[in-house]
């Protein structure tokens, strides 16, 4: 934790160095001290898992600190927590979704997940590189962009579904509460999050969930896993209008 805070402070300082004059409100400075998502202590030396609301929690009997749950156990625990949350919030909109895959494989080059990038011929001269140096594209450029973007999103898909890649100490992964990234509403950020008592970006909430219920270490914003998670979550909402601040 000390290291993470130190890193955040340092990143804050780096940011400040370049924002000095442009940050009279201290927004950049505030980023240096995001609250951690900590949980009540366990009565029997077991592990307490808490939802992202910062309230709903349960103590996993028989699970000692440092022990991993199986995926089935972890699904049972997260399922129980989510059921409890929905019981407490019957009026809140919640999309019921199911994982469409148990564990995603590495990206398949021949079978990209999505086609988000404009195809050849749609926007640019693709025959040869005549025209401005930076505004002319070859047909193969589009293929490279598509393949790389799909690979990035697919890596995020893997991280999202993998307790191991997320660094969970108890075997929980994102998909257990958010099948196919449902109910992550990335289009509503930035928005005020009560748990944090401040305006959050999507990555802040990812980190919040990584601390609990996943019980891992927060990720550096430049960590490839954080970037890939954001990419995957956003990719699932292709076509949805941006609507910042929405609750």
Partner 1 sequence: MSGKSLALGLLIVAAFGVAGYGIGRATMPAPKPDALAEPKSVDQVGFPEQLYKWSIPPDNPQSAAKVALGKELFFDPRLSVDNTVACANCHDPDKGFTDQLPTAMGVHAKFGHRNAPTVLNSMFNIEQFWDGRAPTLEDQAEQPILNPIEMGMPDEQTVVAKLSKIPEYQKGFQEAFGSAPTYRNLVEALAAYERTQNAFDSPFDRFMAGDANALTAQQKRGWAIFNGQGRCMSCHGWNPTRPLFTDDRFHNIGVSAHSAQFVPHARQALALLAKGGGSQQIDRLAIATDLSELGRFLVTKQPHDIGAFRTMGLRNLYVTEPYFHDGSQATIWDTLDHYNKGGVQNPYLDGGIVPLGLSEEQEDDLAAFLLSLTNQRYMAEAEKEYRNQFRISRTTRPQRDTAAAMGLKGRNGPGFSGPFGDIGPGQSAMIENPASLGGY
Distance CA 78, CA 81 (A): 5
Residue holding tokens 């993470």?
Answer: 4
Of 70 and 130, which has the nearer Cβ to partner 1?
130
Contacts (Cβ under 8 Å, ≥6 apart) of 54: 37, 194, 195
| Buried b or exposed e, range 99-113, using 16+ CB within 10 angstroms | eeeeebeebeeeebb
Regarding 61 and contact with partner 1 (CB under 8 A), the answer is no
Q: Positive or negative CA dihedral for 148, 152, 154, 155? A: positive
CB of 186 to partner 1, least distance (A): 22
Of 8 and 76, which has the nearer Cβ to partner 1?
8
Among candidates 27, 33, 30, which has minimal Cα distance to 4? Answer: 33
Of 95 and 144, which has the nearer Cβ to partner 1?
144
Question: Which of 91, 100, 122, 132 lies at the binding interface for partner 1 (CB under 8 A)?
Answer: 132
Regarding 42 and contact with partner 1 (CB under 8 A), the answer is no
Q: Are 83 and 94 in contact (CB under 8 A)?
A: no
CB of 143 to partner 1, least distance (A): 6
Of 84 and 220, which has the nearer Cβ to partner 1?
220
Structure tokens that stand for 81 in this block? 């927590």
Regarding 128 and contact with partner 1 (CB under 8 A), the answer is yes
3-state secondary structure of 77: helix
Regarding 133 and contact with partner 1 (CB under 8 A), the answer is yes
Of 26 and 224, which has the nearer Cβ to partner 1?
224
Residue holding tokens 């601390």?
Answer: 211
Distance CA 76, CA 115 (A): 35
Regarding 143 and contact with partner 1 (CB under 8 A), the answer is yes
Which window, 85-93, 145-153, 177-185, 194-202, contacts partner 1 (CB under 8 A)?
Answer: 145-153
By rule CB under 8 A, what count of residues binds partner 1? 27
Binding site for partner 1 (CB under 8 A): 6-7, 10-11, 14, 17-18, 109, 128-134, 138, 140-141, 143-144, 147-148, 151, 220, 222-224
């Amino acid at each position: 934790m000390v290291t993470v805070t130190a890193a955040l402070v340092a990143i804050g300082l780096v940011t400040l160095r370049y924002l000095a004059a442009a940050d009279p409100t201290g927004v950049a400075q505030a980023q240096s001290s995001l609250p951690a998502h900590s949980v009540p202590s366990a009565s029997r030396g077991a592990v307490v898992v808490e939802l992202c609301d910062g309230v709903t929690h349960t103590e996993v009997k028989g699970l000692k600190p440092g022990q991993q749950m199986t995926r089935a156990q972890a699904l049972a625990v997260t399922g129980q927590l989510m059921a409890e949350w929905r019981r407490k919030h019957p009026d809140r909109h919640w999309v019921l979704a199911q994982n469409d895959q148990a564990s995603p494989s590495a990206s398949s080059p021949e079978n990209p997940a999505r086609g988000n990038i404009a195809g050849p011929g749609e926007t640019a001269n693709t025959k040869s590189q005549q025209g401005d140096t930076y505004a002319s594209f070859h047909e193969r450029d589009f293929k490279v962009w598509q393949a790389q973007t799909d690979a990035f999103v697919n890596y995020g898909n893997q991280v999202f579904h993998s307790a191991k890649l997320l660094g969970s100490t108890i075997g929980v992964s994102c998909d257990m509460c958010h099948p196919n990234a449902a109910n992550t509403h990335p289009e509503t950020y930035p928005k005020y999050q009560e748990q944090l008592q401040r305006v959050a970006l999507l990555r802040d909430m990812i980190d919040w969930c990584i601390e609990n219920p996943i019980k891992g270490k927060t990720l550096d914003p430049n960590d490839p896993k954080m970037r890939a998670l954001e990419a995957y979550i956003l990719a699932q909402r292709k076509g949805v209008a941006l609507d910042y601040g929405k609750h």
